[in-house]
Chains A and B, each alone.
Chain A
């Protein structure tokens, strides 16, 4: 079993929809949680960064961390076709390597 589980999708939604992306994890030592967006053949782009439990909002993006359930989420409001990409969750214990989920492929249709 992988340390970080993420549904690979694809997740198809119409433009304007609210998108919910999720990851579960097994390592209770993880404290730092990140969401990356990756377009095909490009490097992962950091979207959201959260330390410990709680919510964080940045524009159309909201990240939630529930350490008690070992569950993190990324919400995208008013989704746009340009949001179509693979979304990777990643987490770490501290100043150490990131452990990634497999990524969820999101398709937003006009």
Chain B
């Protein structure tokens, strides 16, 4: 079965550069979530989208923005990168239409290293 696809898997950027992370949800999933996981930390919610509209916002810095496109894929844009942005970034998807449940399936993540 198709899973959540994230790209790239690894990304190295310098301070003050920008980065774009992409997420392709499971087919027919309408909701996308972005999480940031630092070393030894639990995933922290950043932002979510339902049907291409922002549905919730967590601890996402103002330097970050995200959107969900008409094909339901999502992109997380990160500007003015800081060393502290180095982390694993996970995307998860779920379907609010199917079975009225909230099972969220995660991608393999993008490891961002800021040097």
Contact = CB atoms under 8 A, between A and B. Distances in A.
Interface string A37-50: 00001111110010
A72 interface: no
- Chain B contact patch, size range: 20 to 34
Contacts of A97: 33, 45, 48, 56, 58
A88 B40 CA distance: 12
B90 A102 contact: no
A41 B107 CA distance: 11
Interface of A: 32, 34, 36, 41-46, 49, 51, 88, 90, 92, 94-103
Interface of B: 4, 31, 33, 41-45, 48, 50, 55-56, 58, 88, 90, 92, 94, 96, 101-109, 111
